Structure 1
Amino acid sequence: MLEVNAPYDRSVITQLPTSDKASLEKAISTAHAYFKNQKQWLPVYKRIEILEKIAVIMEERTEKLITDAAREGGKPYTDSKVEVLRAINGVKLAVQCLSGFHGEEIPMGLTKASEGRMAFTRREPIGVVASVSAFNHPVNLIIHQTVPAIAVGAPFIVKPASATPISCLNLMEIFREAGLPEEVGVAHLCDRDSAGFLVTDPRINYLSFIGSGEVGWKLRSQVAPGTRCGLEHGGVAPVIVFDDADIDAMIPQLVKGGFYHAGQVCVSVQCVFAPKGNARDIADRIAEKAKNLVVGDPLDPKTEVGPIITDWELNRVGEWVQEAVKDGAQLLCGGENHSATCYKPTVLFNPPKNAKVTQHEIFGPVVCVYGYEHPDEALEIINNMPYGFQSALYTQNIDKAFSYGKQLNATAVMINDHTAFRVDWMPFGGRDQSGLGLGGIPYSMHEMSREKMFVFKTPAS
């Protein structure tokens, strides 16, 4: 049995039965048999009908989805509401994307050897998709890891995070009510060993993994030959502030981007580099706002920063902060537990460059500010990190924005906006140790499908 605890008070929400290898074997066999028999495949119009019904039912159950997500995941109610509304829009977006989901004509006749031929491609489902999800966005991540598969016609098996399975089960109930057959999509709650059995099975054609790099890269090394992977990990979400930045506009953005969901976001603002002349002032202003954030029960609409997901993670965040302070970082605010499950929003000034809070994703409510003599110093530190995900530049100079944006090792550069900005139709993913492949509804649809080319030899061409 899996015990699900509320992160805020660690109380037991429910206990749920878990899957063993036998039940996973049955699920894989069923999904694989469905994929191998094209006569069973749901036609596009039927998939659209199902997705449209899913969106309608989700809208009818918005309050339950929000409350369950906030309670089991610890994200404040107001932010969980944004997540659920985004998830509903993501379902609608998949329907919209299907109208442009197609192959293309491949030109022939460009050489004598290709004369008398015509060719085109079409996109087909990749096969069985195994989706392993994370806790921090328990509704929207499941949507991103299942709805693109439904849209393209790929059967899927989804494993939610052990900490937040209720939201996934809520969605699977909605999928079933909307008409999605069980052989097309199921959820399984299982331990790490059983999950390993799922993702390494040779009948799995695509692995979607969201979580720690340590686990994700290990799983990738174990998948069967031919299994494609999409891995979404994290980074330190670096920010470079230039001397011409609009500081007044920037501070609230960095506070939101750094402390949203207690920093438990893969692109949460973590390392802010600013000119030495005003770096301390910037750090103080961030700290002043951080001190006034409401920390507490995620179900209280006034709460802005909720709990850390587990005691282990709470202790780890505290240890990293204390280590940085011991080695010379200046603690401007926070640096201790707010309660038994919450950590105070923390701002550190000039931690050592080799500190864990500088070199690794802290995944907690901690923002570090560093002073630099020249922005190239910040660029060098950032580009020497093993991560590359979303980053940000604050400047009013378009030349600086393009020059440094080009040089940053990142998959996305936000100009005058925080690193945690995301909409669900944009490409989203990391490079280097931060991940592999791209998420975002249309991009996941592409990843969960593959192209087949037809070449006709005919004088009619």
Structure 2
Amino acid sequence: MKQLIVKQAYTDAILAELTMHNAEQVTAMLATASALDKNGCLPTYKRIQILQKLADLIKNEEEYFARLIANEGGKPIKDARVEVARAIDGVHLAISAIRDIKGAEIPMDLTPAGAGRKAFTSMEPIGVVVAISAFNHPLNLAIHQIIPAIATGCPIIIKPASLTPLCTLRLSKLIEQAGLPVGWVQVALLDNENAEKLVTDPRVAFFSFIGSAKVGWYLKSKLAPGVRCALEHGGVAPLIFDDYQDIDGFVNGVVKASMYHSGQVCVSVQRVYIPSVRAEEIAQKIAAVANQQVVGDAINEDSDLGPLIAPKEVDRVESWVNEAVAQGARVVTGGRRINKITYEPTVLLNPAKDAKVSTQEIFAPVVCVYAYDDINEAIEAANSLDVSFQAAVFSDNLSLAMDVADKLEASAVMINDYTTFRVDWMPFAGRKHSGYGIGGIGYTMRDMLEHKMIVIKS
């Protein structure tokens, strides 16, 4: 049996040694989930009771989960605590959304053909859910995939990221403690081959994926006929600055929004467009704040930035930044690795339009500032990529800001706020290559339900 070694993100100390599941175990998991689905889900009130107890159990282990997130995923402990709070709230959001699961009467006698009939719809669980999760929010992403399945009555098999499986494993234990019968939530520790076997099985009814576009679109192409799915990939988030009075507030926010969790967030600010007359000044201000960020072990209370998830990611970031500099970008601050797992907070001025830092998601504490002479030029640049998730515009001129928001190709545009803004009840989705379907607790629950219409002829 293959072993999965989980290590502390900064020190490389071993946190756990886990046995991975093989192909036969994948088949058994699918058989268990399929049998539960055929036998019918728990009554709604029991699902509500289980989720209520689960929220309390997570609350009781709030600090434990925060430290687990910091240790296995490298997210600074102060940000990890925020993630746990969001996760608890996510469970409560699902409880509230359960109360909105209902059908509707469908009028039949609008034409003579329907006369003498009554019709109504009800909502049923879609069936077996398979989820593949990402490393960067190891608890809250699991909440967004597992909890909607529990709430709607779907059995779920989830594969957590191999580098950060411990939060999902602990969450699954708490779910059992909360009263959900064994088998309704199964955690699969899989290599790529067995993960594909799981996802492409015809017994799967819904596939939830959070991760790279390359893997997500590939797996979608392999799904069995009729399988619904939701894919959440990344972006190269643009922010257009027009004229905004609170420059210091703006600058502090840019640093947080681009370097939170060392930039390893799918909607991190990466491209900042600023009028040419102010680009140098504001880039220097961003750099001054970036220089104050403390980089270190995420478990330390004073760390603002932790490590990147793996040494190979530092190698990649170093290569991309060096390429940008060779093509004419100026390093305002940073631009170098600190050690094998951390990279300096970095601000680049005017990278080439075709540089990797301008066209691909860097997933690192690197922000690029571009000077523009006409705001339409900035809008065109912001829209130029095949990825599109959340975008932002800063302006004290609301009319202009609304015009820019209308023209930006994004699933959400923040005015005088950052691309990283999210609350867990809002729709969250990528356009173009950035995703498929809509995330958010309530929206995911809708995806996991199917309409059934009953027509009665009297």
TM-score by length of 2: 0.98
- Contact 1:246–1:394 (CA<8 Å) still a contact in 2? no
- Contact 2:243–2:396 (CA<8 Å) still a contact in 1? no
Query: Hey, what's the Cα distance between the residues in 1 that align with 2:123 and 2:357?
Result: 44
Provide Cα deviations, 1:3-37, integer angstroms capped at 9, x if missing partner: 11122122222110100011110010110111112
Query: Hey, what's the Cα distance between the residues in 2 that align with 1:418 and 1:244?
Result: 13
Query: Hey, what's the Cα distance between the residues in 2 that align with 1:117 and 1:231?
Result: 40
Displacement after TM superposition at 1:118 (Å): 2.1
The answer for the alignment partner of 1:232 in structure 2 is: 232
The answer for the alignment partner of 1:166 in structure 2 is: 166
Query: Counterpart amino acid of 1:194?
Result: N
Structure 1 stretch displaced more, 105-114 or 51-60? 105-114
Query: Counterpart amino acid of 1:418?
Result: Y
Query: Hey, what's the Cα distance between the residues in 2 that align with 1:129 and 1:205?
Result: 6
Query: Hey, what's the Cα distance between the residues in 2 that align with 1:242 and 1:418?
Result: 14
The answer for the alignment partner of 1:25 in structure 2 is: 27
Provide Cα deviations, 1:378-418, integer angstroms capped at 9, x if missing partner: 11112221011011010122222221111111000011111
The answer for the alignment partner of 1:11 in structure 2 is: 13
| RMSD (CA atoms) | 1.0
Query: Counterpart amino acid of 2:122?
Result: R
The answer for the alignment partner of 2:192 in structure 1 is: 192
Query: Hey, what's the Cα distance between the residues in 2 that align with 1:111 and 1:247?
Result: 62
Query: Hey, what's the Cα distance between the residues in 2 that align with 1:317 and 1:122?
Result: 50
Corresponding position: 1:112 with 2:108: no
Query: Hey, what's the Cα distance between the residues in 1 that align with 2:404 and 2:272?
Result: 15
The answer for the alignment partner of 1:128 in structure 2 is: 128
Query: Hey, what's the Cα distance between the residues in 2 that align with 1:217 and 1:78?
Result: 34
Q: Secondary structure at the match of 1:164?
A: coil
Query: Counterpart amino acid of 1:234?
Result: G
Displacement after TM superposition at 1:105 (Å): 2.0
Q: Secondary structure at the match of 1:238?
A: strand
* Alpha-carbon distance change, 76 to 244 in structure 1, aligned in 2, over 3 angstroms: closer
TM-score by length of 1: 0.97
The answer for the alignment partner of 1:91 in structure 2 is: 91
* Matching of residues 33-432 of structure 1 within 5 Å: 33-38=35-40, 41-244=41-244, 246-432=246-432
Q: Secondary structure at the match of 1:106?
A: coil
Query: Hey, what's the Cα distance between the residues in 1 that align with 2:344 and 2:436?
Result: 33
Query: Hey, what's the Cα distance between the residues in 1 that align with 2:88 and 2:176?
Result: 16
> What count of residue pairs does the alignment treat as equivalent?
456
Query: Hey, what's the Cα distance between the residues in 1 that align with 2:115 and 2:283?
Result: 67
Provide Cα deviations, 1:145-201, integer angstroms capped at 9, x if missing partner: 100000000000000000001111110110111111122111011111100000000
Query: Hey, what's the Cα distance between the residues in 2 that align with 1:289 and 1:61?
Result: 34
Q: Secondary structure at the match of 1:456?
A: strand
- Contact 2:159–2:188 (CA<8 Å) still a contact in 1? yes
- Contact 1:35–1:154 (CA<8 Å) still a contact in 2? yes
- Contact 1:127–1:206 (CA<8 Å) still a contact in 2? yes
Query: Counterpart amino acid of 2:66?
Result: I
Structure 1 unaligned regions, length at least 5: none
Query: Hey, what's the Cα distance between the residues in 2 that align with 1:192 and 1:340?
Result: 26
* Matching of residues 429-444 of structure 1 within 5 Å: 429-444=429-444
Structure 2 unaligned regions, length at least 5: none
Structure 1 stretch displaced more, 151-160 or 236-245? 236-245
- Contact 1:94–1:442 (CA<8 Å) still a contact in 2? yes
